Each structure stands twice: as structure tokens, then as C-alpha cells.
Amino acid sequence: MSKILDAFLNENLQNLRDQGLYNEIDAVEGANGPVITINGKQLINLSSNNYLGLATNEELKQVAKDAIDRYGVGAGAVRTINGTMDLHVKLEEKLAEFKGTEAAISYQSGFNCNMAAISAVMDKNDAILSDQLNHASIIDGCRLSKAKIIAYNHSDMEDLRAKAKEAKESGLYNKIMVITDGVFSMDGDIAKLPEIVEIAKEFDLITYVDDAHGSGVTGKGKGTVKHFGLEKEIDFQIGTLSKAIGVVGGYVAGKKNLIDWLKVRSRPFLFSTAVTPGDVAAITRALQMIMDSTELHDKLWENGDYLKAGLKKLGFNIGASETPITPCIIGDEKLTQTFSRRLVEEGVYAKAIVFPTVPKGTGRVRNMPIASHTKEMLDNALAIYEKVGKELGVI
Ligand code: PMP
């Protein structure tokens, strides 16, 4: 290794470790379900985005195996060369039905989708109004487009309005986009989409909602745009297929001309191999399951409400979540890491989330109950929270 690189890495890694900002990555031995095994130890898992428990669903596993038997393990090429199988076409029809739009396009991940979609329509002559707490992939997607990025204070509609007005009146930009998470994953709050749409109409803004944490969760499972009945108003409905949907991938749902454009101009679609057949078949069935029944959705919310009430009663600061995502805000980064480590030692897997994922001084342990947790698992988790909370003086 070059000396300069070696010195750079050693110095910076040590800095992160000294500040308690270096996250160790644990390997899960086996499936990522409501209970997981790490280092041979069974832990109640409150750290996955597998909201509906579909990642380990028996029916979906069988659907994926059948598709592998028929189509093989790989799509064979990028979509435009010959990687588009009839499975991908069916998935995109199902996604459009799920999101209530004319059409949809799928990508290999939600992250990829934000890299693809923003830069396909925005360029250096444009501006993007972006919520200050938007996900890293949105931030990177905006940067890639070379548009002027104007961050507005988190869910602050007065600030958004003022910045939209200023951008519009400056006459500097051809197009202006407003972009937001549908559900903010660190606090579990929901974007104020009705107000955003109103401001967008006033200043002729393109609207872009990344509902990675809302699909399957809000709007009776159909997501945050549906929750507010705004399917006709939002230009880009973005999502991931890796969280509530349980598999992997990302998508944009919208008007047909938008999707046609993304098929010829979005680079991850044009230059990266398509999602595998087993995954695509499982995703398509998962979407149908969510549309056919709200049973898993209802169980998720029941579990979320139960965990929240329990943690609040114990005296934890659980923020102002409007979804099953339940942060326990601790503050200090090192204490947050210690808290999370002690939870693991006692049998709960709930990860510390610290800077730079959240602002400095707002370290938290984030809990994500899922539909397949039992009451007994959640009660056990609460008992462990109480023990560790008292031990570390957090409650
Ligand atoms: N957008 C948001 C808002 C997310 O929270 C995430 C996942 N953390 C992504 C995109 C990326 O999705 P994926 O994991 O499918 O790449």
C-alpha cells in the first residue's frame, strides 16, 4: 500500500475510534427475522427494516425458488441489452398498480434509484430544494446532477416556501425540484406532503418523494403519498424493495412519459445488470400480498404502538415518531454506543445510530419492531431496556 494512503487510513480510523464514531459490523448467522443469531447468541432483533417480516416469508421463498428453477440465478445483462425478462415487465406493471401511477421502472437498489432518477432530469442549470434530513442517497443523487442544492430546515414549510420563492424569483434556474423522504428513518416522522404539494403548485416545482420507509408501512401499506391521497400530484414516487417489501431493489413510479425518459436516460438502468429473477418474482408476489391484505401492516402498527408505549412508560425519550420506527434518544455518542452494546449483551439487538448518520449530540438507539415479533419478545426487550436504562442512568 502507498505510504500516504496507509497514513491517511490509520490516522482517520483512529480518530473515529477515539470519538466513539466507529461502528463495528456484526455478521448475522442465518435469517434476518424477529430473532437473530450473532456470535452464537440469540437476540431479539429491533434493527431491521424488514417491517412486514417478508424477508423470511415461506411463500416468497418458494416463489423465488420456482423462478430460479425456470429462469436461472442471473438476469444475464443490463436491461436494455437483453436483461429485461417478462418477470421485470410484470414487476413494473405491479409497481404502477401498487403506487396508483401510469407506469414504473425498477432499479437494483433504492440507493441506485436516487442516483439514477435525479440526474436524469436535473442538471447544472436547475435547483433542488432538499429537506435537511434527507437520506444520504438523495444527497448523493442531487450532487451527481450538478444542480444547485438548496437545503431547507427539516419539515419547515415556511423555510421551504421562502427558499422556493427566492429560487423562482431569482430567474437563475430552468427547473426547480423539491425532494423529501416520505418517512424520515431516524425519527419516524412523516413529511408534510400536502403543504409541499401546495408550495410546489405555487412555484411550479417538480415533486420527488422517496418513500423507502413508508411503502408497506403508511397508507395502509401503500405508502405516504397514498396516505395523503396525493398520487396524482407527486411527479416522482421513489421507493425501495428491500425494506417492508423484504427483498432488494428500488423503483420510480410516475407518469408514462417520465418512466419512458428514465428508461433511455437513467444511467444505472442503462449500464448496470438487472435484478435477479428470483428476487423479481418474490418482489412481485410481495406487492400482491400487501395489496390483498392489511394483516401484516396491522400487526406491524400494533407492535409499534406496544413498544412505544412500553418505552415511554419506562421514561425513555422516544422523540416524536409517527410510524413504528421508535428511536430512544440518548444524546452522547459514547453513551449511546455503550447502551447499545449492553442491550446486545442482555439479548436485544438495537443499533446505535450516531453522527454522521444523525446530527452530533443526538445519538440514539433505534428500534424497529416488525410484524413477526410476538408480544413475549417485545416484553422481554422492554425488561432489558429497563435494566440497561437504569444501570447507565438514562432513565
Ligand atoms: N432512500 C431512503 C430514504 C433510505 O432510507 C434508504 C435505505 N437506507 C435508501 C433510499 C436506500 O435503499 P436501498 O437499501 O434499497 O439501497
Do 144 and 274 lie in a common domain? yes
Residue 20 has pLDDT above 80, yes or no: no
263 Cα to the center of ligand 1, angstroms: 21
- pLDDT tens string 129-147: 999 999 999 999 999 999 9
Residue pLDDT, tens place only, 253-289: 999 999 999 999 999 999 999 999 999 999 999 999 9
H-helix segments, 100-246? 110-121, 136-145, 157-170, 193-203, 224-227
Give yes or no: residues 277 and 343 share one domain: no
Catalytic residue among 222, 227, 243, 351, which?
Answer: 243
Question: Is residue 52 in some structural domain?
Answer: no
Confirm if 245 and 283 have CB atoms less than 8 A apart: yes
* Residue 277 belongs to a domain: yes
Q: Are residues 382 and 311 in contact, defined by beta-carbon separation less than 8 angstroms?
A: yes
In a domain, 66, yes or no: yes
134 and 74 in a common domain: yes
Where are the strands (E) in the chain, listed by range? 35-38, 41-45, 103-107, 127-131, 148-152, 176-181, 206-210, 236-240, 250-254, 326-331, 348-349, 352-353, 363-367
Number of CB atoms found within 10 A of residue 115's CB: 24
Of all protein residues, the one whose alpha carbon is nearest to atom 14 of ligand 1 is 110
CATH code, domain carrying 32 = 3.90.1150.10
Ligand 1 pocket test: pick from 213, 240, 323, 325 the residue with the most ligand atoms within 8 Å of its Cβ. Answer: 240
Hey, what's the cell of 179? 425532494
- Which atom of ligand 1 is found nearest the CA of 211? 3
Does 244 lie in the same domain as 129?
yes
Q: Does residue 197 share a domain with residue 326? A: no
Least confident residue range of 98-102, 151-155, 278-282, 331-335: 331-335
Q: Is 213 assigned a catalytic role?
A: yes
The CATH number that applies at residue 145 is 3.40.640.10
Residue pair 193/226 in contact by the 8 Å Cβ criterion: no
Q: What is the pLDDT of residues 309-339, one digit of tens each?
A: 999 999 999 999 999 999 999 999 999 999 9
Pocket test for ligand 1, best of 111, 132, 210, 237 (most atoms within 8 A of CB): 111
pLDDT tens, position by position, 82-97:
999 999 999 999 999 9
Task: Give DSSP secondary structure letters for 19-68.
Answer: TT-----PPP-S--SSEEEETTEEEEE-----TTSGGG-HHHHHHHHHHH
Q: Is residue 53 part of a domain?
A: no
- Flag whether the ipTM exceeds 0.95: yes
Whether 243 is catalytic is yes
Q: What is the pLDDT of residue 358?
A: 87
Expressed as residue numbers, the domain containing 326 is 18-47+294-391
The answer to whether position 121 is within a domain reads yes
In a domain, residue 1? The reply is no
- Looking at the fold, whether 336 and 220 belong to one and the same domain comes out as no
Of how many residues is the chain composed? 395
- 267 and 332 both lie in a single domain: no
3-state secondary structure 137-174: HHHHHHHHHCCEEEEECCCCHHHHHHHHHHHHHHCCCC
Q: CA-to-CA distance for 109 and 107, rounded, in angstroms? A: 6
pLDDT at residue 21 tops 90: no
Quick one: what percent of the chain has pLDDT higher than 90?
94
Q: Examine the residue annotation and report whether 373 is marked as an active-site residue of this protein.
A: no
- Give the pLDDT confidence score for residue 147 in this predicted structure: 98
Question: Which residues have C-beta atoms less than 6 Å from ligand 1?
Answer: 109-111, 135, 137, 181, 185, 210, 212-213, 240, 242, 250
97 C-alpha to ligand 1 centroid (Å): 21
Question: Across the chain, what does the average pLDDT equal?
Answer: 96
**Residues 114-128: tens digit of each pLDDT:** 999 999 999 999 999
Give the distance (Å) from ligand 1 centre to CA of residue 241: 9
Task: Give the full edge-to-edge strand order of the sheet including 206-210.
Answer: 103-107, 250-254, 236-240, 206-210, 176-181, 127-131, 148-152
> Same domain, yes or no, for 218 and 98?
yes
Q: Which pLDDT value is given to residue 336?
A: 95
Alpha-carbon span 181 to 141, nearest angstrom:
13
Co-location of 75 and 122 in the same domain: yes
**Per-residue pLDDT, 282:** 98
Q: Is residue 255 located within the same domain as residue 283?
A: yes
* Residue 112 pLDDT > 80: yes
Say if residue 99 is in the same domain as residue 240: yes
What's the domain count of the chain? 2
171 CA from centroid of ligand 1 (Å): 33
What are the residues whose beta carbons fall under 8 Å from the beta carbon of 136, sequence distance 6 or more?
Answer: none
Please give the average per-residue pLDDT across 300-305, as a whole number.
98
Looking at 88, 99, 163, 213, which residue is catalytic?
213
Calpha distance 251→114 (Å, rounded): 9
Specify whether 161 is located in the same domain as 268.
yes
Residues 333-382: pLDDT tens digits? 999 999 999 999 999 999 899 887 888 899 999 999 999 999 999 999 99
Nearest CA to ligand 1 atom 1: 212
